[in-house]
Amino acid sequence: MPRSVPSAKPSRRWGEIWSHCSSGILFSAFMTDRRSFALRLVLGFISAIAAVYIVVVLALWYWQASFIFQPSPVVQTTPGDLGVKFEKATLPIGSGQVAGWWVPSQDPHAATLLYSHGNANNVGGNAPEVVGFQKAGLNVFIYDYRGYGESTGGPPPGAAPPGGSCYPRACAYVWFSRPLKQA
35 with 91, same domain: the answer is: no
46 and 86, same structural domain? no
> CB neighbours of 94 closer than 8 A, spacing ≥ 6?
153
Give yes or no for residue 16 having a pLDDT over 60: no
Q: Which DSSP state fits 152?
A: -
Residue at 71 is within a domain:
no
> Is 3 domain-assigned?
no
Is 70 contained in some domain? no
| 5 within some domain | no
Identify whether residues 45 and 91 lie together within a single domain.
no
Under DSSP, the state recorded for 84 is: -
Is 135 among the domain residues?
Answer: yes
The predicted-structure confidence for 107-163, as pLDDT tens digits, reads as follows: 888 888 888 887 778 888 889 999 999 999 999 999 888 888 888 877 655 555 444
For residue 75, give the 3-state DSSP assignment: coil
Identify whether 69 is part of a domain: no
pLDDT of amino acid 92: 80
Are residues 40 and 122 located together in one domain of the fold? no
**Which of residues 177 and 140 earns the better pLDDT score?**
140
**Given this model, what pLDDT does residue 82 score?**
92
Domain assignment of residue 84, yes or no: yes
Q: What is the CATH number of the domain that holds 111?
A: 3.40.50.1820
Domain that holds residue 116: 79-177
Residues 46 and 94 in one domain: no
Q: What is the pLDDT of residues 46-61, one digit of tens each?
A: 999 999 999 999 999 8
Which pLDDT belongs to residue 17? 54
Residue 34 reports pLDDT greater than 70 = no
Looking at every residue in the chain, the average pLDDT score rounds to 76
Do both 146 and 103 map to the same domain? Answer: yes
How many structural domains are present in the chain? Answer: 2
Same domain, 26 and 57: yes
pTM: 0.56
Q: Say which residues have a Cβ less than 8 Å from residue 1's Cβ, sequence separation at least 6.
A: none
Q: What is the mean pLDDT of residues 178-183?
A: 53
CA 29 – CA 78 distance, rounded (Å): 78
Torsion angle (degrees, nearest 10) of CA 15, 20, 23, 24 = -140
User: For the residues 66-89, what does the mean pLDDT come to?
Assistant: 84
Q: Quick check: 93 pLDDT over 80?
A: no
Residue 168 has pLDDT above 90, yes or no: no
Tell me, yes or no, whether 122 and 173 share the same domain: yes
